[in-house]
Amino acid sequence: MNIHEYQAKAVLREFGIPTPRGIAAFSVEDAVKAARELASPVTVVKAQIHAGGRGKAGGVKVVKSIEAVESEAKRLLGSTLVTHQTGPRGKEVHRLYIEEGSAIDKEFYLSALVDRGTGRVSFVVSTEGGMDIEQVAKDTPEKIVSFSIDPATGVMPHHGRRIAQALQLKGDLAKQAEALVAKLYQAFLAKDMSMLEVNPLVVTKDGKLICLDAKISFEGNSLYRHPDVVALRDLTEEDEKEIEASKHDLSYVALDGNIGCMVNGAGLAMATMDIIKLYGEEPANFLDVGGGASKERVTEAFKIITADPNVKGILINIFGGIMRCDVLAEGVIAAVKEVGLKVPLVVRLEGTNVERGKQIIAESGLDVVSADDLDDAAQKIVKAVRGNA
């Protein structure tokens, strides 16, 4: 789960991590009031959307008067920001963050994330702040320093020195860097974050190390123990179909392609997406209906897939282990009867009660293409989608 920058900064402040003063604003009046309250000679008006790259897209404005805060707030609220992270459709701005301006001396990059390879939290730092870190990694990988924290010891003084050295910080700034990494690690663990990115981390002209931007993702499976984090959720930033899916315990991720997939088991779902790509098309979603899905869940899953206007064909790929193929077949037929079927549907069933499942579909009179294996299924749906295009 992701949150906005202003919320992320509030979380960091709980741990004593330095950030500029700021106030969230939901209207132009709010923004003006916030700027008056901050009473800072330089104010930054920042669009709050769940995507980075706002600066380059005009979503971050450094201004010097209340009038300018007002006009930037008017311009941004309700507008659609298209950044390199939003996709071409962009994201509509409903919230702003009004922040006191900082006089920047240097901009750095810092992030912490779960390194699944080592099972530890890793820090990534670079002198190349404010830039696209993927680009830095590609062009000048030597400018990226990364190390992981042993959970048994936590952050040690040498980690702080490592960061100070990587960022070429000396004296008091090196001390600030050491304190910062310890607090960031503490916050990361306490809140069950999966990713924490500070880009840029800056040194101000008066010698302070502060987090000028903050992006936090939380581990979804740990949200049950963080009601305070759940309260920060902004549903307008999330895909409606994903929200609906989560209500029915379906693992669903919306993607950009045009073949809707309904699969049981995450591994099989990944393999199904891969094979669709292998035959030259793109999946419209990842959807795992789970091992023991009921008829109702299958119906809900089918509704979510067909609600996506990009879906030009559907591939159902079920390996009946705990899930029985006949239950799946009944669910599909119930769903088709309820929502209708306007696109080609290919079904590949294997496993428990497969004969009964195939029979139910054959006798339903529905226009369903039956497939024998994964390869056959992928080729059939790709062909059907192309014939329909």
Query: What distance in Å separates the CA atoms of residue 7 and residue 385, rounded to the nearest whole number?
Result: 43
CA-to-CA distance for 201 and 136, rounded, in angstroms? 16
CB of 94 to Mn ion, least distance (A): 19
**Residue 177 to residues 157, 211, 312, Cα–Cα distance (Å):** 10, 11, 52
Looking only at Cα atoms, what is the longest distance across the chain? 79
Which of Mn ion, ligand GDP, none is residue 114 near (CB under 5 to 8 Å by kind)?
none
Contact between 199 and Mn ion per CB under 5 A: yes
x/- contact string, 127-146, with ligand GDP (CB under 6 A)? ---x----------------
**Active-site residue, from 6, 72, 97, 109:** 109
List 5, 72, 128, 197, catalytic entry: 197
Is 213 marked within a binding site? Answer: yes
Phi/psi for 128 (5° steps) reads -90, 75
Answer whether 146's CB lies under 8 Å from 122's CB. Answer: yes
> Could you confirm whether 29 is annotated as catalytic?
no
321 is in an annotated binding site: yes
Q: Is 54 in the site for ligand GDP (CB under 6 A)?
A: yes
**Binding map of ligand GDP across residues 337-366, x = CB under 6 A, - = no contact:** ------------------------------
Q: Which of 32, 104, 339, 366 binds ligand GDP (CB under 6 A)?
A: 104
Say whether 295 counts as a known binding-site residue: no
**Nearest approach, Cβ of 112 to ligand GDP (angstroms)?**
17
Where does this chain touch Mn ion (CB under 5 A) — which range of 31-39, 145-153, 197-205, 305-313? 197-205
46 is in an annotated binding site: yes
User: Which residue from 72, 213, 308, 326 is in contact with Mn ion, where contact means CB under 5 A?
Assistant: 213
Which positions from 59 through 78 interact with Mn ion, judged by CB under 5 A?
none
Residue 243 annotated in ligand binding: no
Distance from C-alpha of 328 to C-alpha of 325, rounded to nearest angstrom: 5
Query: What are φ and ψ of residue 178, in 5° steps?
Result: -65, -45
> Among residues 86 and 353, whose Cβ is nearest to ligand GDP?
86
Q: What is the C-alpha separation between 338 and 334, in angstroms, rounded?
A: 6
Catalytic annotation on 197? yes
C-beta of 164: minimal distance to ligand GDP in Å? 21
**Strands 193-204 and 215-218: what pairing?**
antiparallel
Going through the chain in order, the beta strands assigned E by DSSP cover 22-25, 43-48, 60-63, 80-81, 91-92, 95-100, 104-115, 120-126, 144-149, 193-204, 209-211, 215-218, 251-254, 259-263, 285-288, 313-320, 345-351, 368-371
Residue the block writes with tokens 């984090």: 229
- Choose between 56 and 74: whose C-beta lies nearer to ligand GDP: 56
Nearer to ligand GDP, 101 or 351 (CB): 101
Task: Check: CB of residue 124 under 8 Å from CB of residue 109.
Answer: yes
* 200: preceding bond cis by omega (within 30 degrees): yes
CA 114 to CA 110: how far, in whole Å? 14
Angle, CA 116 vertex, CA 110 and CA 119 arms, to 5° = 95
Q: Total number of residues binding ligand GDP (CB under 6 A)? A: 16
**Which of positions 175-204 make contact with ligand GDP (CB under 6 A)?**
199-200
6 or 319: whose CB is closer to ligand GDP?
A: 6
8 lies in the site for ligand GDP, by CB under 6 A: no
Binning the chain into helix, strand and coil, the percentages to the nearest 5 are 40, 25, 35
Residue 86 or 285: which CB sits closer to ligand GDP?
86
Q: Which residues are catalytic?
A: 109, 197
- Binding annotation: 46, 53-55, 99, 102, 107, 199, 213, 264, 321-323
- Binding annotation for ATP: 46, 53-55, 99, 102, 107
Residues that bind Mn ion (CB under 5 A): 199, 213
Residues that bind ligand GDP (CB under 6 A): 44, 52-55, 60, 62, 101-102, 104, 107, 130, 199-200, 212-213
